[in-house]
Amino acid sequence: MPYWLMKSEPDEFSIRDLKKMGHGRWDGVRNYQARNFMRQMQEGDQFFFYHSSCAEPGIAGIGRISRSAYPDPTALDPASPYHEAKARDDANPWSAVDVEFVDAFATPLKLALLKNEPALHELALVKKGSRLSVMPVSEDEWQAILAMR
C-alpha cells in the first residue's frame, strides 16, 4: 500500500479542520507532477498532512484517501480561487481526491527535524529547492517518520 505526503497551508485547510469535519476534498492542486501522483492514489492509502507557509512548517498528522482521483470541481467554478478559464466540463485537466481524518500529532514534526533525519534525505520534501506539494513516501520513510513522533 503506497504512502504519500501532501502539503496544505493551515490557514486554508489544516489537520484540525480535517479532524473537525472528519473528511474533506483535496483540491486546487495546479502542478502536473503533483497531479500525476494524486492520480496514482487509491482508496485506503494513507498520507502525511504537511503544514506549509506557516509559523511552524512540518508534518501535523495523518489522513487517508477515501476516494481516488476525479475531475477537480474548483477548476470549473468561476467563484473559486482555483478556477481555470481553460478548463471545460469534458476537458478538465485537474484532479481532486477525497480524504478522511486519521490522526493529529500532539506535536507536529517540524521541517528542521525532518531535514536532520538521514533516513529522509531522499524525500522530495527536504530536498533543496523542491516545491512539490504532493509526493510519494516509501515504506521505510513512512516508518522513520512515525518513529520520530
Partner DNA sequence: GCCAACGTTGGC
Distances (CA, A) of 59 to 5, 74, 75, 84, 116: 9, 25, 27, 29, 14
Q: Per CB under 7 A, which of residues 55..94 are in contact with DNA?
A: 57
Nearest approach, Cβ of 104 to DNA (angstroms)? 18
Q: Which of 30, 68, 100, 144 binds DNA (CB under 7 A)?
A: 30
Q: Which member of 2, 16, 25, 52 binds DNA (CB under 7 A)? A: 52
Rounded Cα–Cα distance for residues 37 and 48 (Å): 14
How open is the CA angle 102-9-86, to the nearest 5 degrees?
105
Cell match 522530495: residue? 124
The rounded distance, in Å, linking the Cα atoms of 113 and 58 is 9
- Asked whether position 138 contacts DNA by CB under 7 A, the answer is no
Q: Kindly state whether residue 131 participates in binding DNA, applying the rule CB under 7 A.
A: yes
Please identify which residue in 130, 139, 143, 146 interacts with DNA, judged by CB under 7 A: 130
Residue 54 engages DNA in binding (rule: CB under 7 A): yes
Q: Which residues bind DNA (CB under 7 A)?
A: 7, 30-33, 52-54, 57, 111-112, 128-133
